[in-house]
């Protein structure tokens, strides 16, 4: 049997009963089996937080994680699990991250996975991102390619990247499972050096499965080479867990617009008043 290259999944809804991902431990175990078959060595468990439906406070996530770890160990499935959350970008986000009720990557207080709605960028998004950055929390933007506003106006995302935000694409956007438009957009952003992570965002053992990460890795390796694919699917996810800065790919095309280092402080209310 072909051994898939090792990958590490930085966004996955495997914890059972917490959100619209796995509903039962049996489903979670199936997802873990699919992950291992696809070469996944570890998963950051990222249940939805504050998205209007699911709250999932940190302690609940920590307990669910400990439970699933035990079950995986009993089932002899070699998969490491780490705590995290997919936190909706709302005005409460910075305070929830800072008081620990919304989990950062591996509970380190360094980087947080933040989610936008599909059809809009919330009012005040720049203020919220600026507040996180000011407190030393790196926002990792979950699947911006699936946000209609950012897909149409990528210069807004480029600005966020210039401030220090990081970008996570969905594996199925890269592999083509979500259609040619999203695949083309993903490739352009990858070639522009905008992307720091690719993750499964898996919710099920099949279809939106953890196994999709290996197909995306293969596609990205064909576009950008093995080293880039390894950076996005293994090295950078591990850096997140260790609380280290993520590395950026060198752009290999001229981007439509280029992230430039600029000052997010101007989006803070008192700065705007002063300016
Ligand atoms: Fe997600």
CA of 271 relative to ligand 1 center, distance in Å: 33
Q: Judge whether 43 lies within some domain.
A: no
Domain span at residue 179 reads: 85-274
What CATH number should be reported for the domain holding residue 192?
A: 3.20.20.140
In 3D space, the residue among 37, 50, 40, 52 whose CA is nearest the CA of residue 11 turns out to be 40
In a domain, 199, yes or no: yes
Dist. CA 229–CA 220, nearest whole Å: 6
Summarize pLDDT for 155-197 with one digit per residue, the tens. Answer: 999 999 999 999 999 999 999 999 999 999 999 999 999 999 9
Question: How much distance in Å is there from the Cα of 13 to the middle of ligand 1?
Answer: 6
Residue 192 is assigned to a structural domain of this protein: yes
Q: How far is the CA of 117 from the centre of ligand 1 (A)?
A: 11
Q: Is residue 194 part of a domain?
A: yes
Q: Report the separation in Å between the CA atom of 24 and the middle of ligand 1, taken as the mean of its atom positions.
A: 17
- Half-sphere exposure of 170 toward its Cβ, with a 13 Å CA cutoff? 23
Kindly give the distance from the C-alpha atom of residue 87 to the centroid of ligand 1, in angstroms, as a whole number.
9
What's the total number of domains in the chain? Answer: 1
Nearest CA among 45, 75, 78 for reference residue 60: 45
Average confidence (pLDDT) over 225-250: 96
Q: How far is the CA of 9 from the centre of ligand 1 (A)?
A: 12
pLDDT one-digit tens code per residue, 9-26: 999 999 999 999 999 999
Whether the per-residue pLDDT at 52 is higher than 80: the answer is no
CA of 208 relative to ligand 1 center, distance in Å: 10
Helices (H) and strands (E) in the chain, counts: 12, 9
Q: What is the Cα–Cα distance from 266 to 232, expressed in whole angstroms?
A: 31
- Asked if the structure places residue 45 within a domain, the reply is no
Q: How far does residue 258's CA lie from ligand 1's centre (Å)?
A: 27
Burial 229-240 (b: 16+ CB within 10 A, else e): bbbbbbbbbebb
What is the whole-number distance in angstroms between the Cα of residue 11 and the centre of ligand 1?
Answer: 6
Assess if residue 71 is contained within a domain.
no
Q: How far is the CA of 192 from the centre of ligand 1 (A)?
A: 24
Q: Is residue 74 part of a domain?
A: no
Residue 37 parent element (H or E): helix 25-37
The answer to whether 270 and 132 have CB atoms below 8 angstroms apart is no
pTM for the whole structure = 0.91
């Amino acid at each position: 049997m072909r051994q898939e290259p090792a990958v590490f999944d930085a966004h996955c809804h495997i914890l059972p009963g917490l959100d619209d991902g796995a509903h039962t431990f049996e489903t979670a175990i199936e997802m873990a089996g699919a992950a291992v078959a696809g070469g996944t060595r570890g998963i950051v468990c990222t249940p939805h937080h504050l998205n209007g439906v699911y709250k999932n406070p940190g302690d609940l996530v920590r307990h669910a994680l400990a439970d699933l770890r035990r079950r995986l160990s009993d089932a002899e499935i070699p998969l490491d699990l780490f705590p995290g959350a997919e936190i909706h970008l709302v005005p409460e986000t910075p305070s929830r991250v800072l008081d620990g009720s919304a989990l950062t990557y591996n509970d380190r207080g360094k980087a947080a996975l933040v989610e936008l709605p599909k059809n809009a960028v919330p009012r005040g998004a720049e203020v919220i991102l600026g507040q996180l950055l000011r407190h030393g929390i790196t926002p990792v933007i979950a699947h911006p390619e699936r946000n209609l506003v950012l897909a149409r106006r990528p210069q807004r995302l480029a600005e966020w990247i210039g401030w220090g935000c990081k970008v996570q694409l969905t594996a199925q956007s890269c592999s083509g499972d979500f259609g040619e438009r999203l695949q083309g957009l993903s490739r352009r952003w990858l070639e522009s050096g905008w992307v720091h992570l690719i993750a499964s965002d898996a919710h099920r053992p099949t279809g939106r499965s953890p196994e999709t990460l290996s197909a995306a890795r293969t596609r990205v390796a064909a576009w950008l080479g093995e080293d880039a694919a390894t950076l996005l699917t293994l090295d950078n996810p591990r850096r997140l867990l260790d609380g280290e800065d993520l590395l950026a790919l060198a752009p290999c095309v001229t981007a439509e617009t280029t992230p430039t280092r600029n000052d997010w402080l101007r989006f803070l209310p008192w700065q705007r008043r002063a300016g």
